Structure 1
Amino acid sequence: MNPARSQSQTTGVRQPLLPVRVFAVSIMSLPIVVLMLCASVVFAAEESSEGHHELLSGDRILFATVEEIRGGEARVDTGDLQPRYLPMNVRKDKGLPELKQGDRVEITVNDQNLIVDIHLVGEGSYHRIIHGELAQPLITGHEKAVIRTEDGKEESHFVRPLARSKVASVPVGAQAVFLIDEMQGIADVTYGSSEAVVKAKQLWQKKTPLKASFKKVTGVILQVLDHNTISIQTQEGQVQLYEVRPLIQKNLANLSKGETVVLFIDDEDKVTDSSSIGFGHQQ
């Protein structure tokens, strides 16, 4: 018997298989807010018929058996001396079936030993990597984020509850590596290089309060969405055109011509949030 294989089976840890794709080399780490995000090596883990796993450096997959379900948590046996507890809402938020006693599960954890994702063994899953930066500050609740990719495109994604504090600690403009799950949610994030770590520190030192990042413009809608642009007549009687961030285009699409709206404009002169006042009056 291969000793390395025997040891992997005993500990319940899936080790990444070759080939390994290296994008950046870990050199240093930096505490931001209350988290430690490290310059990262990104690699592809085992690819099988059930799915394709791309993980961040330090991420690993644990195999475990569900022993008990109680109080919104699943107690699982990973082969360690102490059991591990999995929050049931990780799968519920993605619309996946609830865990039950006896289930075999794959638990993805990051370099801080925090849970990133949970899947049943053999359950279809797909993780991918996006290299880019946050295009704007996270809105209240940190539930959604807009990523500007390396080729300049913007993608909006929900942020998984377990990743929200970590994503919120990444300043706008810092190069980062985002782990996207099969439901297009951000499951984890780290920095892509040592230079990105240094830039992140500099950006946080210059960071201003979130409210100061937005300009508030009140007006009557002339045209809701035309090529991702909204047209309003302001309280001063001026006609203004603003590009709308992908994150809130769906919300604005539900508004109507003649409705009064408050637009929150970011430092790139794009609409990042909105609030409807109604018809026939302005604040």
Structure 2
Amino acid sequence: MTANRDLPIGVFDSGVGGLTVLKALRERLPAESLIYLGDTARLPYGTKSAAAVSHYALQAAHALVRMGIKALVVADNTSSAHALEALRAEFPGLPVTGVVEPGAAAAALASAQGRIVVIATDSTVQAGTYPRAIHNSRPGARVISKACPLFVSMVEEGMTDGPIAEQLARHYLDPLFANADDGQKGDCLLLGCTHFPALADLLRRVVGPETAMVDSATTTARAVEDLLEHRGLATGRAPERARVRYLATDAPDRFARVARIFVPWTIATDEVEVVDLA
């Protein structure tokens, strides 16, 4: 498969959380056009079976490929955990980047003592993809994966700080940080869900300033930049010609409203196109 350098990059997620990846891509690659697809009709993926996630991911990817893209970014951690190899097999000529591998490699480097805590959805934790990817970069690392399913709902309700949010964060994390024995305390926190960067300030307060924190969105954007340069796919257009297109499978009004939590610009409801993946 050959690609026009000025085609957009396709980005998909189960909903709006992947907009954190879109934001990182826009900051890192301002000249690149982007198409973002949120499968809002079927979110969350984090509670679905691996087979269902893979099926949904393939449908989303086919929709984006039909629109014409030069690279695919899987912004959903659960899809990256369960469907990345299936996507690469389905589209052998298309560069496909997930969020797990870049985030895991960055955490392996950032951890001083090799004690890494990964927080994610239930499905991502059960897949075990983050520990495997971290151990590929740092075989001796001690990795603890912690499912934090309520964080997703909390973020989408706009509860990114305050007493209730902090109490829940401490419920999940204090046993691994503040209340852990010194030799067992995590020294690096990897945010293994695209919703979780919205909680970064809160999580920093909970785990302490001495703990390294890795956001897979920013590391994924760097990986995409490197991939485009390596493949000769970086655009030659001026940044002002770059465009962003938003697609959702349901509820464009909610997409536009919740998007304000994840990106600093406004997305109007009429900017969100509704698509059917079935």
The two structures have a TM-score, normalised by structure 1, of: 0.23
Question: By percentage of residues, which structure has more helix?
Answer: 2
| Greater relative contact order structure (CA < 8 Å, 6+ sep) | 2
Question: By percentage of residues, which structure has more strand?
Answer: 1
The two structures have a TM-score, normalised by structure 2, of: 0.24
